[in-house]
Copies of this chain bind each other. A is one copy, B any other.
Amino acid sequence: MEKKIPKNTVKRLSVYLRCLNKLQEDGIENVSSSEFGELIGINPAQIRKDLSYFGEFVRQGLGDNIEKLKNGIKKIIGLNETQNIILIGVGNLGKAILNYNVITKRGFSIIAAFDKDPEMIGKIINNVGVFDIKKIDQFIAGKNIKCAILTLPPDQIRKTIEKLYQLGIKGFLNFAPISLNLSKDIQIVNVDLSSSLEVLMFYLRNNSE
């Protein structure tokens, strides 16, 4: 990647993709950046700028085909092909995510879940098998798995990341409320419910914004 992509641009790409899908479902085939911007509440210049970072592939511009644009964004993100992921920790949250079909619709495939609880091992949840965490090495071997969803207790996160990293997995979606200082080589995205609630609370009290 030649130029540095702003962090917010990446987040917006995801928003664009979702909205383009929606538009396509509604049978719309083209949008201009101004129409699109209007729709999602983002400045049209922002949209054009965001896309220009990857400008090679949509030379015709937004005004043209939604399908083309969608595929372009998918390619940027790496979702032009289905991504295999695994889930570690089949507690309440783990189960909820296994049952959350939106992830699948978006081009991800959870191909296995792992837990240490004998009660859970062997079960099948929404077509995903639960395996013994001890056997994860042999399961992963040879499969193309780039990232893992971690729905484990906080105290097991670090250990698990280190283990999976050795097995070649470098991307993590983490739900535990902890700060980790990890190798630059590891990509981690944190989802923190209490933190989100706190941010919400703040804006509720100071809602001049």
Taking Cβ atoms with an 8 Å cutoff, the residues of A that contact B are 1, 4-5, 10-11, 13-15, 17-19, 40-41, 76-79, 83, 85, 91-93, 95-97, 99-100, 102-103, 106, 108, 146-147, 149, 170-173, 177, 179, 181, 185, 187-189, 191-209
Contacts and interface: CB of A to CB of B under 8 A. Distances in A.
A100 B106 contact: no
B19 A179 contact: yes
Contacts of A92: 92, 95-96, 99-100
A170 B204 contact: yes
Given A79-B201, A147-B201, A179 B15 contact: yes
Contact of A108 (B172, B189, B191, B194): B194
Contact of A189 (B11, B177, B185, B200): B200
Contacts of A97: 193
A60 to B, nearest CB: 23
A184 to B, nearest CB: 8
A11 B95 contact: no
Contacts of A185: 207
A187 B200 contact: yes
Given A181-B41, A193-B191, A202 B102 contact: no
Most buried by B among A83, A103, A198: A198
B194 A191 contact: no
Contacts of A171: 200-201, 203-204
A18 B197 contact: no
B179 A77 contact: no
Contacts of A17: 198
Contacts of A77: 198, 201-202, 205
A18 B199 CA distance: 13
Contacts of A187: 200, 203-204, 207
